[in-house]
Amino acid sequence: MAMLPQEVIRKKRDGGELDPAEIAGFIKGLTDGSISEGQAAAFAMAVWFSGMNRDECVALTLAMRDSGETLDWSEFGRPVVDKHSTGGVGDNVSLMLAPIVAACGANVPMISGRGLGHTGGTLDKLESIPGYNIQPSPELFRKVVDEVGCAIIGQTANLAPADKRLYAIRDVTATVDSVPLITASILSKKLAAGLQSLVLDVKLGNGSFMTDPDEAKILARSLVDVANGAGVSTSALITDMNEPLADAAGNALEIETCLAYLRGEKAGTRLDQVVVAFAAEMLVAAGIATHKVEAEALVRRALESGAAMERFALMVHRLSGPADFVDRSEAYLEKAPAVVPVPAAREGYLTACETREIGMAVIALGGGRSRPDNRIDHRVGLSDLLPLGTEVQKGEPVAFVHAADLSQAEAMRERIGGLYTIGDVAPDPRPVVISRIT
């Protein structure tokens, strides 16, 4: 006899452990609409208060994965790998990672999201490229992954539909920040994409959703344990998000940074360290390299030979973007009408910045959404952001504001200037990759 939804809710509310059949039944009801919005909200709140153990979390992830179609890439005969980031400011790593790893011999079917809160979204960045199709047909998606090795697209309606419904309910019921629900939400979509291995970037710092080291570790551990429990070989790197990762924040500006990176112009930066660390982790997980040093050498070769840039160019063209985008990006990426420098308030060293507020500033310029139906202005954002530890003279630009008009640019210049702390002593350098969870 089928169990009543309210009995599942009551059991979890009272701290009981749900069995896989109860979880699967509830998620089936969520998918077919037989469970009401109120019941879904009550379930989310019960999980928020009572938590879930690993077995429950694996069952929830698998039930959400199986709520729609699952992809199978076995016919292509190449290892299938992906990466997911919990989101930060100036984090455009996915844009470079997919073509690098594809150039080294893996398939990367990357299903990405839009901006969330103060963090930028990979899909919003790609939509800066005229014509780029983030929702190709399943046939075209498969064709591009087969021919190019990578495709970065949006979640289709058929992939983990239960997650879509539950996420929308969590968003309006203050249950987004539940570790079991975050874990199942992230992993159900990734598992539905048919991955063999996955690497997770769990951000930690004042520009991420996780500001407490212990919480970041708990989330990373949950994601790694549940993904491995669900049959996907997974590891996580906890990375620093106490300053923007790239030297730009904003959609078209981050695409420009991606191209500069693939041309070899960002070697040695914090961004470079993160990209290489994740690419190497993915290649070892895929069995393409036996250890980190060999993997890093493959990554460098893919960059220096131009193979990674070639994959990026091909991916853009096969997904309906311009054939000559990489060579003529300045002709295609829209430029903001007003660009003004943000002067340093005094001489000294950049010791800290309010990273989350930098992300919020990009949204205020129109580069993100305060409501789901907002249109994004792809031109706006911040560029030439100096890294922390840089010595500056008074009046020297610490960044440039790109805005829709001069008055907005000048107002934002004041706001951004106030987000940086300048001290007399250089801060100690922080590692960008903090720890690895396996």
H or E stretch covering 145 = helix 138-148
- Exactly one of 84, 118, 266, 378 is catalytic; which is it? 84
Instruction: Give me the catalytic one of 12, 78, 125, 189.
Output: 189
386 to 183, 218, 246, 352, 422: CA distances (angstroms): 34, 32, 10, 11, 12
| Contacts of 88 by beta carbon, 8 Å cutoff, 6+ apart | 119, 203, 205, 207, 208, 241, 244, 245, 355, 359
Q: Which of 122, 239, 257, 355 is labelled catalytic? A: 122
**Residue 269 annotated in active site:** no
Report the alpha-carbon angle 37-56-219, nearest 5. Answer: 90
CA distance 168 to 165: 5
- The single-letter code of the amino acid at 36 is S
Q: How far apart are CA 393 and CA 215, in angstroms?
A: 38
Residue 74: Cβ within 10 Å count: 9
Q: Which of 12, 65, 78, 83 is catalytic?
A: 83
- Quickly tell me which residue has 């539940």 as its tokens: 178
- Rounded alpha-carbon distances, angstroms, from residue 217 to 21, 204, 285, 435: 30, 9, 21, 9
Among residues 186, 178, 177, the alpha carbon closest in space to that of 209 is found at 177
Known active-site residue 122 = yes
DSSP state letter for 75: G
User: Annotated catalytic residue: which of 65, 114, 165, 170?
Assistant: 170
**Among residues 261, 274, 249, 279, which one has the least CA distance to residue 381?**
249
Catalytic site includes residue 170: yes
Known active-site residue 189: yes
Which listed residue (78, 114, 125, 190) is catalytic? Answer: 190
Label the pairing between strands 197-204 and 233-240: parallel
User: Is 335 marked active-site?
Assistant: no
Please say if 84 is a catalytic residue. Answer: yes
In the residue annotation, 405 being an active-site residue is answered as: no
Catalytic residue among 67, 119, 185, 239: 185
185 catalytically annotated: yes
- Catalytic pick from 82, 91, 163, 377? 82
Question: So which residues are the catalytic ones?
Answer: 82-85, 122, 170, 185, 189-190
